[in-house]
């Protein structure tokens, strides 16, 4: 039996992966992933065998790679961001259940962290990460989570704020959060993180409601203490910090 690694490669630039992730891929014989990520890493590891499938073909991609690992290969699945956060790790565990194959997970910088770094320090205190995609989750569950995250005054990082099918997810999310948070709450959006066209902007929660996010956007909603400092979004770690 071979070995299976699930590797988070961070946001869209190869130097955002960890040294351990790079070393793991260097030792792999076959690497699988969404076509876009394979294109990103292929120049770094030109001699590998690659398996790529389109965005939605995740289960098929996992099955193909599992077969390689069970057949004796040193196999690696690459995920954008982290390997576990909305990543392939859970699905690989489910599909490999009972086979005896050991799965090794190499964590990576998820968009909540890389987007936050671009914006300043929006996640400097307790936070929630919530996806607005209702492909695999009922929208009612998403609404409940948004409501509780806002009621708990958690900073929030929103993944998948917009999709092709439903354009109003972000606006509806803001409406729910506005039940508990001030319309002046500091918010921000990070786009195309770690790519040449990377950008960010700050706005209020009220403004966020009309913001046109796309599928390359990660959205950040501050807590009641978040403020703008020199054009960045900063959530202090605690109530006495500035007086220490």
Residues of span 136-165 touching a copy of itself by CB under 8 A: 136-138, 141-142, 144-145, 147-149, 151-154
Interaction between residue 16 and a copy of itself (CB under 8 A): yes
Interaction between residue 96 and a copy of itself (CB under 8 A): yes
Site for a copy of itself in 65-94 (CB under 8 A): 82-87, 89-91, 93-94
Calpha distance 23→9 (Å, rounded): 12
| Sign of the alpha-carbon torsion through 55, 21, 77, 45 | positive
Torsion of CA 6, 123, 193, 161, to 10 degrees: 90
Interaction between residue 191 and a copy of itself (CB under 8 A): no
CB of 87 to a copy of itself, least distance (A): 7
Q: Name the token pair of 34.
A: 């969404």
Which span (29-37, 46-54, 134-142, 171-179) binds a copy of itself, by CB under 8 A? 134-142
* Smaller CB separation from a copy of itself, 154 or 210: 154
Calpha distance 36→52 (Å, rounded): 9
| The residue to which tokens 């996806």 are assigned | 131
Calpha distance 144→176 (Å, rounded): 9
- Give the one residue of 41, 113, 162, 186 binding a copy of itself; rule: CB under 8 A: 113
* Smaller CB separation from a copy of itself, 92 or 208: 92
* Smaller CB separation from a copy of itself, 94 or 210: 94
CB of 203 to a copy of itself, least distance (A): 18
* Smaller CB separation from a copy of itself, 212 or 224: 224
* Smaller CB separation from a copy of itself, 33 or 49: 33
Calpha distance 25→45 (Å, rounded): 8
Which span (9-17, 170-178, 181-189, 208-216) binds a copy of itself, by CB under 8 A? 9-17
Torsion of CA 166, 171, 172, 176, to 10 degrees: 160
Interaction between residue 103 and a copy of itself (CB under 8 A): yes
CB of 173 to a copy of itself, least distance (A): 12
Interaction between residue 198 and a copy of itself (CB under 8 A): no
* Smaller CB separation from a copy of itself, 104 or 212: 104
User: For the residues of 91-158, what is the DSSP string, one character each?
Assistant: HHHHHHTTS---EEEE----HHHHHHHHHEETTSS-EEEEE---SSS-HHHHHHHHHHHHHTT-EEEE
Q: Name the token pair of 219.
A: 């959205």
């Amino acid at each position: 039996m071979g070995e299976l690694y699930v590797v988070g490669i961070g946001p869209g630039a190869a130097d955002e992966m960890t040294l351990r992730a790079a070393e793991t891929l260097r030792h792999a014989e076959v690497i699988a992933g969404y076509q876009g990520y394979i294109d990103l890493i292929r120049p770094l590891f030109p001699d590998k065998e690659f398996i790529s499938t389109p965005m939605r073909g995740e289960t098929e991609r996992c099955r193909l790679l599992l077969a390689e690992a069970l057949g004796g290969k040193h196999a690696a699945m690459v995920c954008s961001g982290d390997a576990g956060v909305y990543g392939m790790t859970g699905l690989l565990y489910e599909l490999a259940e009972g086979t005896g194959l050991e799965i090794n997970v190499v964590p990576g910088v998820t968009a909540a962290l890389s987007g936050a770094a671009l914006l300043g320090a929006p996640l400097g205190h307790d936070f929630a990460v919530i996806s607005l995609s209702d492909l695999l989750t009922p929208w009612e569950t998403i609404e409940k989570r948004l409501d509780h995250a806002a009621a708990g005054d958690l900073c929030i990082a929103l993944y998948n704020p917009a999709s092709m099918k439903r354009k109003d997810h972000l606006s509806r999310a803001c409406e729910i959060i506005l039940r508990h948070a001030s319309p002046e709450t500091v918010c921000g959006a990070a786009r195309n993180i770690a790519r040449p066209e990377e950008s960010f902007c700050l706005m209020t929660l009220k403004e966020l409601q009309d913001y046109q996010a796309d599928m390359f956007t990660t959205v950040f909603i501050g807590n009641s203490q978040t403020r703008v400092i020199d054009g960045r979004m900063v959530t202090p770690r605690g109530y006495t910090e500035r007086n220490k």
